[in-house]
Structure 1
Amino acid sequence: MKHLIHTLNKAFDHRVRLGVMAVLMANESVSFNDLKEVLDLTDGNLASHVAALEKAEYVHVNKQFIGKKPNTTYTATAAGKAAFQQHLSTLEKLLRP
C-alpha cells in the first residue's frame, strides 16, 4: 500500500499553485490583478504557475479585452476542483494519526 505522502498531487507542491487553487476554490472566477494582489506575486511568477495549472487542466484561462485593455480571469475546472479536494483530503488524513 502506498504511503499517503506519495498520493499528494505534485501539481500543488508549490505554495503559489496551492494558493492559486485555494483562491479559485473560494471564488467562481478571479482576475489576474486580484490574484496577483491576494498572493503578493509578480506578473511573471503568477503567469508561470497558472500556466502549469492550465497545462494540467486544473485552471481555465479566459482572456478578453474590455475596451482596449486586456482582461484575464481564471476559474478552477471541474477536474481541478476534484484534484484539489483530493489533495486536501490526503493532507487531512496525514494530520490525523
Structure 2
Amino acid sequence: MTDLDPVIHAPARLRIVVVLAELVPGDVIAFPRLRSELDMTAGNLSTHLRKLEDAGYVEVTKTHEKRTPVTYLALSDAGRTALAGYRTALTAILGGTA
C-alpha cells in the first residue's frame, strides 16, 4: 500500500496546498485572502502554514506596505511535487490510474 504524505494529508493542510496549487508558479496570495478563501481563523491557518513551511512546501514572504505588515504565501516547487505525489498515492489507494 502506498503511504500518503502525512504533512499534506491533514484536511486543513490539504485544502491550503490545493488552493495554493491553483496559483501560477511564481504568483503569491496574501494571508487575509487565503484565510477568506478557506474560511479559517487566522490562528488555525497560521498553525497549518507553519507545518507546511517547515516541510518546505510553502514559501512565506513577510514585508510591509505603508507601515502595515503583509504576509504573502506561495506553494514551493517541493510543495507542487509533494502534491503531485499525494495525488498519485491517493489514486493508487483508490484503485485508479494516475
| TM-score (ref. length: structure 2) | 0.89
For residues 60 and 85 of structure 2, the distance between their equivalents in structure 1, rounded to whole angstroms, comes to: 22
**Pairwise CA RMSD:** 1.1
Identity of aligned residues (%): 30
**Correspondence for 1:66:** 65
1:25 is aligned, of 21, 34, 38, to: 21
Q: Say whether residues 1:87 and 2:86 are aligned partners.
A: yes
For residues 40 and 86 of structure 1, the distance between their equivalents in structure 2, rounded to whole angstroms, comes to: 26
For residues 89 and 30 of structure 1, the distance between their equivalents in structure 2, rounded to whole angstroms, comes to: 26
1:29 CA drift (Å): 1.6
Aligned length in residues: 93
**Structure 1 unmatched runs, 5+:** none
Q: Say whether residues 1:12 and 2:8 are aligned partners.
A: yes
For residues 61 and 23 of structure 1, the distance between their equivalents in structure 2, rounded to whole angstroms, comes to: 15
1:91 CA drift (Å): 1.0
**Structure 2 unmatched runs, 5+:** none
**Correspondence for 2:48:** 49
1:15 CA drift (Å): 1.0
